[in-house]
Amino acid sequence: MGEREAEISRKLKRASQLLFFQRHRKPGLRGWELKKALGKDFMSIIDVLNSELDGLNLQVKAVFEDIEITDKPSEEQIDRARFFITIKNPLTVSDIMASGWRIDDIAALAATIALIISRQGKAPRSDVEQILREKFPKWRVDMNLDRFIRNGYLLKDENNVLYIGWRARAEIDQKMLMELLLAK
């Protein structure tokens, strides 16, 4: 193994260690943290790691918290993005339930995200609570919304308006969710 291959292998191991183990309250790392640990070419290491993880049905995903990226992201946007490992294909219901989620909690999250999407990406918390309380008890609605915010699936501003959070953008295929909800 050449010196270059050994360096790539070392950086690949380091990247996987950094991304697999949670060091902060939120999973994953910012782009600037990866750049600091792996060097300026960290995106090429992430590409190699992605190809290695592909066989395990995993992928490294970059989530841009504040903005939607439609074109190639700038270096500054990549530095601010959060990188973490997620499942590549959807989980089965039994897999989700085995991870600690109740089926009614999943339904509440899906309904909340669908409502926010249908309202152009934002909805007052009171509106979401009102709709969820038609199917779930008040205490469960309040507990779930707080949990979704705490875990990054939803964001809340100072006016109590809910938005789709960075984690929902990373883990939930919003297009597929809407297609499933609108299917006959």
- Tokens matching residue 154: 């939803």
For residue 153, the 8-state DSSP code is S
Contacting residues for 40 by C-beta, under 8 A, at least 6 apart = none
pLDDT for res 124? 96
What distances in angstroms separate CA 102 from CA 61, 93, 154, one per listed residue? 25, 10, 18
How far apart are alpha carbons 124 and 88 in whole angstroms?
31
- Name all domains of the chain by residue range, CATH numbers in brackets: 3-89 (3.90.1150), 94-182 (1.10.10.10)
- Which single residue is written with the structure tokens 């979401």? 128
Q: What is the pLDDT of residue 23?
A: 67
Mean pLDDT of the region 78-101? 81
Per-residue pLDDT averaged across 99-113, rounded?
Answer: 88
pLDDT in tens, 92-104: 777 777 777 888 8
Report the pLDDT value the prediction gives residue 22, as an integer from 0 to 100.
67
| 62 pLDDT above the threshold of 80 | yes
Query: What confidence score (pLDDT) does residue 139 get?
Result: 94
- % of the chain exceeding 70 in pLDDT: 93
Nearest alpha carbon to residue 46 among 82, 91, 90: 82
Q: How confident is the model at residue 162 (pLDDT cuts 50, 70, 90)?
A: very high
